[in-house]
């Protein structure tokens, strides 16, 4: 079946690194995504990674993919209070036309 | 370049009524997907439109229907509203670009059913 799981909550201090983890079950997923949702807003695409990559870096964001364990992580360096939001991991299962399957989201709280 | 736009931003309806939500895709995108996000949950896929046809559908009843117009904009219709239909409805558009058909989301329409 298709299922994406994330831890529900993470709290860090400003300036620290944050690591948000995700596991997925569809080993044939071709693309994996991270989206950010601020209160009352839609989803903002942060980054994505192809399934044939192990790592992708984009400024303060680093995505690591472990296909063997079906594990995806998002590291935010030098976390700021403006990074406080809900972060969603999503996959495109091989069975669908670019239809996203989301986790329930991880709420990141950054304290000063 | 305008992103994905949705209207209205908020809507209040009563049980049994019908509602229509609208979406305009990002410039250059030809595919529109709709998602329902209940409070505290991740978005759930409703359906996807491409070339004015429903290309794929999630696990939602026939009360949920849609349409795509020649200019790629789309509507989501929900009939016989239930209390459980209260949610944030998100539209996403995509096209053939780097990252596959990466989906870009609009701000959503928040529907409250009383």
B31, A101: Cβ pair inside 8 Å? no
Q: What is the pLDDT of residues A8-52, one digit of tens each?
A: 999 999 999 999 999 988 777 778 899 999 988 899 999 989 888
Contact of A38 with chain B, judged by CB distance below 8 Å, is answered with: no
Tell me whether residue A65 is exposed, middle or buried, using C-beta atoms within 10 angstroms of its C-beta: 0 to 12, 13 to 18, 19 or more.
buried
Q: Is the peptide bond before B8 cis (omega within 30 degrees of 0)?
A: yes
Q: Averaged over B57-86, what is the pLDDT?
A: 97
Say which residue, A2 or B12, is predicted with more confidence: B12
Q: Are strands A4-6 and A18-24 parallel, antiparallel or unpaired?
A: antiparallel
Residues of A in contact with B100 (CB under 8 A): 30-31, 92, 98
Give pLDDT, residue A30: 76
Lowest-pLDDT choice from A19-33, B13-27, B29-43? A19-33
Residue A91 vs residue B85, higher pLDDT = B85
Nearest-by-CA chain B residue for A97: B56
Nearest chain A residue to B107, by CA:
A42
- Rounded CA separation A31/B73 (Å): 25
To 5 degrees, how large is the angle CA B23–CA B95–CA B61? 50
A2-6, A66-70, B56-60: segment of lowest average pLDDT: A2-6
Q: Which band of pLDDT confidence, cut at 50, 70 and 90, is reported for residue B28?
A: confident
Structure confidence at residue A95 as a pLDDT band (50, 70, 90):
low
Chain B residue with the nearest C-alpha to that of A47 = B99
Average the pLDDT over each of A19-23, B38-42, B75-79, B100-104 and give the range with the smallest value. Answer: B100-104
**What is the rounded distance in angstroms from the CA atom of residue B30 to the CA atom of residue B35?**
17
- In the predicted model, is pLDDT for residue A101 greater than 70? yes
User: What whole-number distance in Å separates Cα of residue B91 and Cα of residue B36?
Assistant: 9
CA distance B43 to chain A (A): 6
Query: What is the C-alpha to C-alpha distance for residues A56 and B24, in angstroms, rounded to an integer?
Result: 31
How many other C-beta atoms are found inside a 10 Å radius of the C-beta of residue B25? 27
- Partner residue facing B90 (CB), from A30, A33, A42: A42
How far does the CA of residue A29 sit from the closest CA of chain B (Å)?
12
Residues whose CB is less than 8 angstroms from the CB of residue A106 and which lie 6 or more positions away in sequence, other chains included = A6, A7, A8, A9, A10, A20, A21, A86, A87, A88
Identify which of A84, A21, A96, A82 has the alpha carbon closest to the alpha carbon of residue B103: A96
């Amino acid at each position: 079946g298709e299922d994406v799981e994330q831890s529900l909550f993470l709290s860090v201090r400003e300036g620290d690194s944050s690591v948000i983890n995700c596991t997925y079950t569809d080993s044939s997923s071709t693309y994996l995504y991270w989206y950010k949702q601020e209160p009352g807003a839609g989803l903002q695409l942060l980054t994505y990674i192809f399934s044939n990559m192990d790592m992708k870096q984009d400024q303060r964001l680093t995505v690591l993919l472990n296909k063997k364990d079906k594990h995806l992580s998002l590291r935010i360096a030098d976390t700021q209070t403006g990074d406080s939001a809900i972060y969603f991991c999503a996959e495109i299962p091989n069975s669908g036309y670019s239809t996203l399957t989301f986790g329930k989201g991880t709420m990141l709280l950054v304290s000063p | 370049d305008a992103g994905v736009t949705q209207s209205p931003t908020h809507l209040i309806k009563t049980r049994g009524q019908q509602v229509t939500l609208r979406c305009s895709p990002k410039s250059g995108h030809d595919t529109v997907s709709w998602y329902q996000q209940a409070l505290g949950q991740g978005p759930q896929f409703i359906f996807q439109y491409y070339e004015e046809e429903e290309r794929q559908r999630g696990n939602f009843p026939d009360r949920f229907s849609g349409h795509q117009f020649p200019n790629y904009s789309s509507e989501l219709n929900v009939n016989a509203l239930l209390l459980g239909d209260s949610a944030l409805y998100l539209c996403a558009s995509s096209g053939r670009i780097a990252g596959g058909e990466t989906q870009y989301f609009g701000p959503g329409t928040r529907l409250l059913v009383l």
